[in-house]
Structure 1
Amino acid sequence: MRYKLGDLIDIEKFRKLMEEFYRITKIPHGLLDTEGNILSCIGWQDICKKFYREYGESALRYKESDLKTWTGSYVGGKFYIYKCKNGLMEAVVPIIVEDKYMGSLCLGQFLFEKPDIEFFRKQAEKLEYNQESYIEAISLIPVLTMEKVEAAMTYFSRLADMLSNMGLNQLKNKEVDNLLIKANEKLEERVAERTEKLAIANKRLKRYIRKRKLIELRLKRSEERYRKLVEIMPDAIIVYNKQKIIFTNPAFAKLVGIDNHEELIGRSLFDFVYPKDRRKVIECIKDIVKGKKIPLVEHRLIGVDGKIADTEATGTLFPYGGKNAILAVGRDISKRKNVERMQKKIEEEKRFLNEAREYEKLKTEFFANLSHEFRTPLNLIYSTIQLFEQDLKNRVAVEDRYYMNKRIKVLKQNAHRILRLCNNLLDITKIDAGYFELELENINIVNVIENITISVARYVERKNIKVIFDTDIEELIIAIDVNIVERIMLNLLSNAVKFTKQGGKVVVKLSNTENDVYISVKDTGIGIPEDKIKIIFDRFRQVNKSIRRNHEGSGIGLSLVKLLMDLHNGEIQVKSKYGTGSEFILKFPRERIDNDERISNFSRPLELIENNTKAIEVEFSDIYGLDK
């Protein structure tokens, strides 16, 4: 609380006391608060009332003196004496209460010696005072000794301390009394309020106790009903904490082959979880502890008799016996799983049966087609031999070379067809049996593909089909079996020419990446239907099965190409749009064999390309019209 000087001192009593002191000492005084207000003054001289406080410049000096009195008097010591600008002496006693400056007790004005009349006469002239009246007022100012002033100031200081302390004690006592009265009133109000609340709380407590007893009774009955319900439920129920079983029902006990479910209390849950499924159960427990919702999870239980039961279960956090536990509910799905396994087995057998039927159908079609493939060239060979016999009977001149060459070509082409078919069958049989081995060598594949393409281009000139080789690579050495790559390329080029009409085009393009080499064979032929692209590499399959065709085929050429690419650790892909053309893409790995000194460019002069003619004639033997 902030006190003022007027609150601490009885001003009227203090004034009467000072009047008595003035009559004894004739020393004037004044009492000022911290804001400069004059609370009491006794014996002030005319010099102050009639001159200094009434005129301009001296009034300003007087105010400055008052300001010094009530703002600086508390600095240092019990009191201090100073001389104002008007030439008079004043003494100031600071009033300190609880280390706080509360005001000042001022003594003055006075002089320590007789006044210098000449000084004050000049001062009156300067300040335009009436000199006679001013000098008379100066003469009335008391002249005191320092000892008398100090004694008076000491007296006033002690008196001020005593009065302020007494007043402070009285105020504090009043404050304490007031605080006690207010505290007592509040205490009585709070006691009354608390008494009322306590009465209400007692009524509520009685109602709560009655309600709780009723709830406990209902809960006990409900618990008994739920316990009976849990015990008769067909689904298994188990409560466990840290994998230790703390409750279970008979259904779970029955699952694990125990008659009395109470015997399970305290045992580990994992005593009954199938070892291979424990990891799954642990992950489910972690999710439950994290508060996640767990769907039905299938796992197996193993009983004390070793029998395994398929189950599905779910779980959640559950308070039990004042502890957080896990409640799991599951059911035996062994019958359902057995049915599913049987259905799966039946479906598997149906699939095997359908695959076997389809395979048998393919084999039947293949052998029928194979018979046709053998019969057609054999019939042509037999017919040509008959023509030769007829000519001999009719003694046709041997010099008729045109007919002779034509019939020899028929014999040769159909012999090639039979040879090609036998080669393909033998190679597939070797690959299936694991006896087929590649003869790899590091070789310039650019020259290999270019030479094969040029050879085929010259061979199919009669059909008016352009075969073009395109690449930006001059040399690229990789490990391949040259003869096998030649067979692969001739097979793809044979198919491209076979299904491309006159005036069409076949483009062979070679490119590479950091790890692979790509060879594309793209034609402008009839293309492949979208539903046939997936089976194009299946054995015994043919896209065109019609009887009237301008070419023949067994349906094993592309399947053999795929097998040969697999042996090279390569791949083959097909892109086609029916009616537009097809593109077959070969991918070879950019690899070399170690310790192989047979690095060949496989570069053949153009005049020696005819050495490939026999291989081309064999691969192209099922295309009619190339010899016309």
Structure 2
Amino acid sequence: MNTSDNSYIDVDSLELKDVIDINVLQSFQDNFARSMDIASVTVDVNGNPVTEPSSYTDFCMDFTHNTKIGDSRCAESHKRGGEEAARSGKPYIYRCHAGLIDFAAPILVNGKQIGTILGGQILTSVPLESDFRKTAREIGVHEEGYIKALKKVKITSEKNVEAAAEVLFIVANAFSKIGYEELKLKRISKDLEGEVLKKNLLIEESNKYNNLKTQLFSTVSHELKTPINIIYSSLQLLDSFNNGDSFILMSDTFSKYSNIMKQNCYRLIRLINNLIDMNKIEVGFFSLNLRNNDIVKVIEDIALSVVEYANLKNINLIFDTEIEEKVIAFDSEKFERIILNLLSNSIKFTKSGGNIYVNIYDENENVLISVKDTGIGIPEDMLEKIFDTFTQVDASFRRNAEGSGIGLSLVKSLVELHGGTITAQSKLGNGSEFIIKLPMKLIEDKVDTHKNESNSVNNNVEKTKIEFSDIYFT
């Protein structure tokens, strides 16, 4: 298939009417024929007329074209003339099947012929009647009438024929180029209109989706968080009576189910908090409370606060750092969620007797924080997907561990809000490692936080319970 430099147009499928306004072509053809006193017509690639004949002679109109054989031979002659002109790339002057002189100017689109403008039905010398009588007999017309019409055919010089053919060729070229450029513009305009319509529809669908999603998050926060707070307050009240004598006989049972209810409340609170924060991040309403703080001390305190949970599953949690102190700008509360989430995953997916390593490294302009475990690992084809929202590793690998598939997506977003990156390395059966790269930046802080602010990470046991709520200790 021939194609142009514009992918919007399939040249092979073009017809003359696609490129040139036939009415304009007819008008030119009529004027050309009258001014030159010669006949003219425009044909398609098969030699069939697409315009009305202009200034046709009686010889052709009343006789040659008036029989089936003669008309068929004319079409074949027109076709060959157009093909030869297209092949040579210049006007082609030739003698038609009936013996008159015609000339052809091809209409080309990127070298592809889609039609021909013809002129002629003239002579450059006095004809031999015998040749034309023979043609009359072949096509089945009256000989004497044919010869009489022949004598009316215009005789002109070869130079005049060449000049007329050259004019026709130039005009045919101009029609081709102008018509084709117009066609390209129309096609491009049509495609652009389609693209604009498609994008408008996508924007409309996106807006609908965002409105529905916002409504969903609003419903989740209102319809779930309120009853959870009530349940949790009730449990706290029951806990306050647990030391009373009236509850002594049922204290074990009460404590067991009270703890189960608490843990499930924590799980729901964690889910809702994650959903709300994800929505805030997506719509750009989530902000960090950056302070200059000692990142090493904050992470060490978080790790130490989790040791007890790791020990309950007979897992060793080991903290190590190559730098004793590094003050940078970060949101300690958000970073607590990041590290607790990673440690929660490590504890969930590490067997009894395994190890979890939390390490901090100084790397030029960045701080590297590594959370590594000896757990079950992550399949290679899931490494790029685990940070996508609601993505979970296949249940056959997760075993009894539970989760919503939101945590790592939120972790990635929180890290990126700090200007950092997080990557995962893992081999199935050989554990996983999550590496956070955080830029060493400082801000103009009102307070030197790491000196004047008491560390609240260790004190906030509730946050740890919430982040570890989907781990069951037996």
Query: TM-score, normalized by length of structure 2?
Result: 0.53
How far is the alpha carbon of 1:424 from its aligned partner?
1.0
Q: Which AA in structure 2 matches 1:475?
A: E
Corresponding residue for residue 416 of structure 2: 566
Q: Which AA in structure 2 matches 1:309?
A: K
Corresponding residue for residue 231 of structure 1: 105
Aligned partners of 1:451 and 1:604 also within 8 Å? no
Corresponding residue for residue 489 of structure 1: 339
Aligned partners of 1:524 and 1:582 also within 8 Å? yes
Corresponding residue for residue 315 of structure 2: 465
> Aligned partners of 1:514, 1:522: CA distance in 2, in Å?
22
Higher mean C-alpha deviation, range 541-550 or range 451-460: 541-550
The answer to whether structure 1 residue 451 and structure 2 residue 372 are counterparts is no
Aligned partners of 1:522 and 1:584 also within 8 Å? yes
Q: Which AA in structure 2 matches 1:600?
A: H
Corresponding residue for residue 524 of structure 1: 374
Q: Which AA in structure 2 matches 1:495?
A: N
Q: How does 1:189-204 map to 2 (within 5 A)?
A: none
Query: What CA deviation, in whole Å up to 9, does each residue of 1:68-103 have, x standing for no partner?
Result: xxxxxxxxxxxxxxxxxxxxxxxxxxxxxxxxxxxx
Corresponding residue for residue 309 of structure 1: 184
How far is the alpha carbon of 1:231 from its aligned partner?
3.2
Aligned partners of 1:447 and 1:601 also within 8 Å? no
The answer to whether structure 1 residue 617 and structure 2 residue 461 are counterparts is no
CA shift in 2, pair 1:248/1:461, >3 Å: farther
CA shift in 2, pair 1:604/1:577, >3 Å: farther
Query: What CA deviation, in whole Å up to 9, does each residue of 1:229-277 have, x standing for no partner?
Result: 593152358xxxxxxxxx984454124548xxxxxxxxxxxxxxxxxxx
Q: Which AA in structure 2 matches 1:619?
A: E
CA shift in 2, pair 1:255/1:449, >3 Å: farther
Corresponding residue for residue 474 of structure 1: 324
Partner-residue secondary structure (3-state), 2:464? helix
> Aligned partners of 1:584, 1:457: CA distance in 2, in Å?
19
Q: Which AA in structure 2 matches 1:496?
A: S
How far is the alpha carbon of 1:546 from its aligned partner?
6.5
CA shift in 2, pair 1:603/1:550, >3 Å: farther
Aligned partners of 1:236 and 1:250 also within 8 Å? no
Aligned partners of 1:507 and 1:521 also within 8 Å? yes
Corresponding residue for residue 421 of structure 1: 271
Corresponding residue for residue 116 of structure 1: none
> Aligned partners of 2:454, 2:351: CA distance in 1, in Å?
30
How far is the alpha carbon of 1:613 from its aligned partner?
2.2
Q: Aligned pairs, how many? A: 301
How far is the alpha carbon of 1:619 from its aligned partner?
0.4
How far is the alpha carbon of 1:544 from its aligned partner?
3.2
CA shift in 2, pair 1:222/1:597, >3 Å: closer
CA shift in 2, pair 1:513/1:228, >3 Å: same
How far is the alpha carbon of 1:599 from its aligned partner?
3.6
Query: What CA deviation, in whole Å up to 9, does each residue of 1:356-400 have, x standing for no partner?
Result: 9xx99xx9xx99xx9xxx8xx99xx89x99xx9xxx9xx995344
Q: Which AA in structure 2 matches 1:503?
A: G
How far is the alpha carbon of 1:409 from its aligned partner?
1.4
> Aligned partners of 2:398, 2:318: CA distance in 1, in Å?
30
Query: TM-score, normalized by length of structure 1?
Result: 0.41
The answer to whether structure 1 residue 412 and structure 2 residue 262 are counterparts is yes
Partner-residue secondary structure (3-state), 1:575? strand
Corresponding residue for residue 91 of structure 1: none
> Aligned partners of 1:548, 1:518: CA distance in 2, in Å?
27
Aligned partners of 2:274 and 2:407 also within 8 Å? yes
CA shift in 2, pair 1:223/1:423, >3 Å: closer
CA-atom RMSD in angstroms: 4.6
CA shift in 2, pair 1:610/1:436, >3 Å: closer
Aligned partners of 1:443 and 1:602 also within 8 Å? no
Q: Tell me, which stretches of 5 or more residues in structure 1 are unaligned?
A: 1-220, 238-246, 259-299, 302-306, 311-333
Aligned partners of 2:86 and 2:108 also within 8 Å? no
How far is the alpha carbon of 1:405 from its aligned partner?
2.2
CA shift in 2, pair 1:251/1:593, >3 Å: farther
How far is the alpha carbon of 1:435 from its aligned partner?
2.0
How far is the alpha carbon of 1:408 from its aligned partner?
2.0
Q: Which AA in structure 2 matches 1:234?
A: L
> Aligned partners of 1:431, 1:508: CA distance in 2, in Å?
27
Partner-residue secondary structure (3-state), 1:621? coil
The structure having more radius of gyration, on CA atoms, is: 1
How far is the alpha carbon of 1:441 from its aligned partner?
0.4
How much identity, in percent, do the aligned residues show? Answer: 42
How far is the alpha carbon of 1:604 from its aligned partner?
7.3
